[in-house]
A = this chain, B = another copy of it.
Amino acid sequence: MADNAGRSNRRGRPGYDLGRLLDVSVRVFNERGYEGTSMEVLAQRLGITKSAIYYHVSGKDELLRLSVDRALDALFAVVEEEASTNGRAIDRLEHVVRRSIEVLVAELPFVTLLLRVRGNTRVERQALARRREFDLVVSDLVEQAEAEGSIRPDVDPALTTRLLFGMVNSIIEWYRPSRGLRAEQVADAVTKIAFDGLRTGSRKPA
């Protein structure tokens, strides 16, 4: 994990450490697209030469790998902490949704990059594989919630998972920390809409 990103030892020549290099790189990748970002442009934005980047990483590819792994590690921490709890599946599902939104907001640029990965390189395919793994864990939780009768039985669990996390993941498209909306408020809105529905009154199945 990139846990000490931006706060590694401050001895030695001042300049970028790997964490701060990633912070800037990911922001540029999100602006221009990973493939649309040349190492030349990236170096300009960093204020260093191209060759200086190669001191920190082996290439553009490794910048991507380290960035998406940071997002994936944070998301997996959510489902792993959940796996050791007990309680009703629906409550655990709601908790995973809320915690995922917190991670998404806290690691916004990294999750954004992750969600735009298409699978053209080995690194991208490995990232997609880990995303599918995450989906499987959530889908399993949805299935358990259906089995215990706490969520509607008339939508396929895999489809439910996709639409639920489609809503969650769409947050990266518009959320900006500067606007002062807190992660918790977004999580409240998502759980209200997805779990209890937009419509007033009740048309729910038993």
Contacts and interface: CB of A to CB of B under 8 A. Distances in A.
Interface of A: 31-36, 90, 116, 118, 120, 149-152, 154-156, 159-160, 162-167, 169-171, 173-174, 186, 189-190, 192-206
B200 A152 contact: yes
Contacts of A162: 170, 173-174
30 contacts: A32-B35, A32-B118, A33-B33, A33-B34, A36-B36, A150-B199, A151-B198, A151-B199, A151-B200, A152-B200, A155-B192, A160-B189, A162-B174, A164-B167, A165-B170, A166-B166, A166-B167, A166-B169, A166-B170, A167-B167, A193-B194, A194-B194, A195-B198, A195-B199, A196-B203, A197-B199, A197-B204, A200-B205, A201-B206, A202-B202
A156 B34 CA distance: 34
A152 B163 CA distance: 20
A199 B151 CA distance: 4
Nearest to A185: B159
Q: Which of A198, A202, A205 has the most CB of B within 10 A?
A: A198
A119 to B, nearest CB: 9
Contacts of A152: 192-193, 196-200
Contact of A35 (B36, B171, B193): B36
Pairs A-B, 10 closest by C-beta atoms: A166-B170, A197-B197, A35-B36, A202-B202, A167-B167, A196-B197, A151-B198, A195-B199, A155-B189, A33-B35
Contacts of A198: 151-152, 155, 160, 164, 194-195, 197
Given A120-B31, A166-B170, A167-B163, A206 B197 contact: no
A200 B149 contact: yes
Nearest to A174: B162
A197 to B, nearest CB: 3
Contacts of A154: 192
